[in-house]
Amino acid sequence: MPEFTRSPLDSLRRFRSRLPALSPQALTLLACLGFTLFYNQRFWAAVIEAMSPTGLGDWGQLVGYGVVMTGLHLVVFLPLVGRATVKPLLTALVLVAASVSYFTGHYGTYFDTHMIDNVLQTDTREAGELLTPGLAFNLLLFGLLPLSLVWGWPLRRRSWRRGLGAGALWWLGSVVVLVGALLLSFQSLSSLMRNHHELRYLITPGNAIVSTGQVMAASPPLPEDRLPIGEDARRLPSAENNPRLLVLVVGETVRAANWGLSGYDRQTTPRLAERDVVNFSEVASCGTSTAVSLPCMFSPQGRNDYDERFTRSHESLLDVVQRAGYRVVWIDNQSGCKGVCDGVERAAPSSDDYPELCGEEGCLDGVLVEKLARRLGEIREDTVIVLHMLGNHGPSYFQRYPEDFRAFTPTCDTADLARCDREAIVNGYDNAILYTDNVLDRIIGVLERNQSLATAMLYVSDHGESLGEKGIYLHGLPYAIAPREQTRVPMVWWASDDFAETAGLNDDCLAAQSDRALSHDYLFHSLLGLLGVESEVRNDALDLTASCRAPEAQAPGAIITQQ
């Protein structure tokens, strides 16, 4: 057939026919070399930045690291390789590596156990936002194209005995090479990993495989019923005033660095700035992801003592408050409460009820104002309502606010942040905060106008967000290396005169603490104090309102410890 009439498919078949037959082990070696060279760009960039290589010796060390990485993968994968299993195994590994390399390379994601938890808990709406054209192209280039070679490469035929012997020799040889490479590069490699231990979470695909295994291995069955905390909880007697209503607004992915009230050079919170609120400007989050921060916020454990199993197997702050006699309601405009609200009344806005605020992508947070307003008339008892916002959940910041809040332009109007410059990304993010400011202002307005209840609102975000600083986007980095953008969050307090009187609260005293270094650790104990709930689980040292409440509003049996 003349060259000019040959189809691409014919050319591919001719190319495959010229490929030498390989053993399953040799094909696995080629795949592992491919992982090292083409799927670990973020790892190599981080290593080069940490080492700053200048001479041949430094570059030789980098080659040694590559041998170690290839050898580690090979030693792990070879026992699973056979003529019948090698291609299915490599298919799974290539697809995992292609997906993971996209997120590590484009967003600076570290695939540790917390990130795997986030992946496992992501709902279809969140996952859909990450299915961008950039990811599709990456899967085509680093997934389907290599897999066409994997499946088209001929395999050498051997008897099962010879195949078993060859496999054993390959594995022993790989171990020898790996040990040799480790011995030659141990001093520099151990120093590098000791000073930059987060690099291990960039080694693809081993990072996803190891972290997933750790998550699965660390998940023994939980108790069928959550274990109680604060069984002694009781409400202190209060003056015969109107019923109390505390609205706790849990924000999503709003960072303090872009919060107007906390000194951002843009006024992203103009409406709150006109209100008599207390803005706490130095609040550290418990984690860098919702899967960690949200349960931790409602747990008596602080960040330093945080234990995921304890949190998942025990009741939360909401159960303690409910046991003390409050009605507790969780209203969710997010992907769930991560188990925090399992023991209380729950509700979620319906797109049928609020068509002007909801669409295929979900509902705007303004729906929470409407939902709250509809419930106020039915409240006849002391109540806590939690509003869980969609907030600034990325990467689709442009979908978090209506068009009339598009104040900062140009904006990034796609979930594929790699296609936008940083200015457009920040503009879209700030517009979403501007809308959050509007929602919070309207919540306060609804509470303020209700004269039959003693009302208050506390807003706090669950974690922050990276917007391209040092090439990092989104959130979820290991806390030890996470930048302040991911760990510093806004917190705002407002209370009506009736609520302040009922709680014995001095707002001026509270305002004096606005610049104090705080954290999510204070939320559990401060809310118990504000609500007049006495329990052995309450710690006044972590109640930021303790010194600002009248003595008669203090719990006489509360535990006071020094920090």
- Other C-beta atoms lying within 10 Å of the C-beta of residue 435: 23
By the 10 Å C-beta count (0-12 exposed, 13-18 middle, 19+ buried), 432 is classed as buried
By the 10 Å C-beta count (0-12 exposed, 13-18 middle, 19+ buried), 208 is classed as buried
pLDDT tens sequence across 427-460: 999 999 999 999 999 999 999 999 999 999 999 9
Decide if pLDDT at 336 tops 50.
yes
Decide if pLDDT at 365 tops 60.
yes
pLDDT of residue 40: 94
Q: Which of 538, 530, 533 is nearest to 501 (CA)?
A: 530
pLDDT tens sequence across 510-538: 999 999 999 999 999 999 999 999 999 99
Decide if pLDDT at 2 tops 80.
no
pLDDT tens sequence across 103-161: 988 888 888 887 887 777 777 777 777 788 888 999 999 999 999 989 988 888 888 88
The whole-angstrom separation of Cα 218 and Cα 97 is: 23
Instruction: State the Cα angle at 482 between 256 and 267, rounded to 5°.
Output: 15
What does DSSP say about strands 383-388 and 362-363: parallel, antiparallel, or unpaired? unpaired
Residue entry with tokens 């603490």: 513
CATH architecture, domain 245-464: 3-Layer(aba) Sandwich (3.40)
pTM (predicted TM-score)? 0.83
Domain boundaries, the chain: 3-217, 245-464
- Other C-beta atoms lying within 10 Å of the C-beta of residue 189: 17
Q: Is residue 5 very low, low, confident or very high in pLDDT (cuts 50, 70, 90)?
A: low
- For the chain, give the mean pLDDT: 89
DSSP string, 69-101: HHHHHHHHHGGG--TTTHHHHHHHHHHHHHHHH
The whole-angstrom separation of Cα 229 and Cα 232 is: 9
What does DSSP say about strands 488-495 and 278-284: parallel, antiparallel, or unpaired? antiparallel
The whole-angstrom separation of Cα 195 and Cα 323 is: 47
CA distances (Å), origin 555, targets 71, 212, 267, 325, 384: 61, 45, 40, 16, 19
Mean pLDDT of 353-368: 89
First to last CA, the chain: 84
Decide if pLDDT at 551 tops 80.
no
The whole-angstrom separation of Cα 282 and Cα 231 is: 33
DSSP 228: P
pLDDT of residue 158: 83
pLDDT of residue 556: 39
Weakest-pLDDT range from 71-75, 225-229, 402-406, 491-495: 225-229
pLDDT of residue 9: 60
Decide if pLDDT at 217 tops 80.
no
pLDDT tens sequence across 166-193: 889 999 999 999 999 988 888 888 878 8
Q: Which two tokens stand for residue 312?
A: 């998942």
pLDDT tens sequence across 245-287: 999 999 999 999 999 999 999 999 999 999 999 999 999 999 9
